[in-house]
Amino acid sequence: MIVAKRKPFNEIKELISGSKKILILGCGTCVAVCLAGGEKEVAILASQLKMALGLVNEDVEIDELTIERQCDREFIEEISTKVNVDDYDLILSTACGAGVQLLSDVFDHKVVVPALNTTFIGVAEGPGMWTERCRSCSDCVLADTGGICPVTICAKGLVNGPCGGTRHGKCEIDPEKDCAWTLIYNRLKKLGRLNRMEQALPPKRYSVQQYPAKIVHEAYRRRYE
Amino acid sequence: MGDCHFLEGNLRAKERVEYTKKLLNEIGLGEGRLEMFHIGASDAPLFAEAVEIMTNRAKELGPNPLKCGAEKAEAA
């Protein structure tokens, strides 16, 4: 999932300054799971803003709404059935960067600002903790590396390792961080697939990455031609 | 600490209270109006002490500035 973190409160306050009526729009998918931008976080942010602005006698009306996903037009279109977007001076979105952009596309006559900093694609390690696992490189090598991504976990992104900087299973860049290639070695050993490390992987095909990337499913090609 | 009927529930509550204090500091209201005390169910003197601490603190801090604003608006 996409993992994000709320922007500092003062930065958010600055982003909304001058607006008299604001809609805080939450996203009920990834950012809800990582406790950054779901219904509950929208409620907390709304309460904080109302109190902070109340303390300086600023009269700002703040409404809250959370939809299932902001990265999908189908769900964004639902917003208009619940509120009149034209009533608001500004939409403060607690979605990831993708959601904020699609929202801006759909309501291109409205100012849409982000309340979060989108950080990485990762997994939940436990309640309240997430770690990065994927750089979305478009050329997955996990089959050869025991399901551990060297592009993400190795500080140098090496697809053939370890380098000379591995120290007792830790990385020379940061002794707190695990050496990705020690993890990969141990995993492959456990799987009885250490022979995978005997052959060097070909150089990473960075050319397959597009910026910005785009995928059209074969079965839907006609409608986008 | 941690010796809770809900196992580590009081430790979790402590973390949440600390987080809420941070939220209150961010908005400029300050964390003083919120406090968590660890008191055993049978420890009445400690409870009385906590009540006294919070009563004195509330007097020191004065009325909630947010409520003062609302009252002024109503009066006007």
Beta strand pairing call for A116-126 and A2-6 = antiparallel
Q: Please state, in angstroms and as integers, the Cα–Cα distance from residue A32 to each residue in A27, A96, A116, following that order.
A: 6, 10, 12
* pLDDT for A75: 97
The stretches of chain A forming alpha helices (DSSP H) are: 9-16, 30-33, 39-55, 73-76, 79-82, 97-106, 150-153, 180-191
State the nearest Cα–Cα gap between B64 and chain A, in angstroms. Answer: 10
The sign one gets for the Cα dihedral B35, A127, A138, A179 is positive
Total residue length of chain A: 225
* Residues A141/A150, Cβ–Cβ less than 8 Å: yes
Strand pairing partners for A199? none
Q: How confident is the model at residue A44 (pLDDT cuts 50, 70, 90)?
A: very high
The sign one gets for the Cα dihedral A105, A107, A112, A118 is negative
Q: How confident is the model at residue A40 (pLDDT cuts 50, 70, 90)?
A: very high
* pLDDT for B5: 74
Interface test with B, best of A7, A9, A16, A59 (most B CBs within 10 A): A9
Question: In chain B, which residues have pLDDT < 70?
Answer: 1-2, 69-76
Quote the Cα angle for A50-A56-A59, to 5°.
55
Q: Which pair of structure tokens corresponds to residue A56?
A: 């300086």
Cβ of A44 within 8 Å of Cβ of B23? The answer is yes
Cis peptide before A162 (omega within 30 of 0): yes
Q: Which residue of B has its CA nearest to A9?
A: B26
* pLDDT for B7: 80
Alpha carbon A126 to its chain centroid, in Å, reads: 17
* pLDDT for B69: 60
Q: What percent of chain A has pLDDT over 70?
A: 100
Q: What is the pTM of this model?
A: 0.90
Domains of chain A with CATH codes: 2-120 (3.40.50.2300), 136-208 (no CATH)
State the nearest Cα–Cα gap between B68 and chain A, in angstroms. Answer: 10
* pLDDT at A159 exceeding the cut of 80: yes
**Distance from the first to the final alpha carbon of chain B:** 49
Exposed/middle/buried for residue A101 (C-beta within 10 Å: 0-12, 13-18, 19+): middle
**Burial annotation A107-133 (CB, 10 A radius, 16+ → b, else e):** beeebbbbbbebbbbbeeeeeeebeeb
* Residues A26/A114, Cβ–Cβ less than 8 Å: no
Q: Quick: pLDDT tens for A54-105.
A: 999 899 999 999 999 999 999 999 999 999 999 999 999 999 999 999 999 9
Q: Quick: pLDDT tens for A184-202.
A: 999 999 999 999 999 899 9
* pLDDT for B72: 59
* pLDDT for A21: 98
Cβ of B65 within 8 Å of Cβ of A55? The answer is yes
| A187: Cα within 13 Å, side-chain hemisphere | 16
In three state form, how does the secondary structure of A133-179 look?
EECCCCCCCCCCCCCCCHHHHCCCCCCCCCCCCEECCEECCCCCCEC
- Give the residue-averaged pLDDT of A145-164: 96
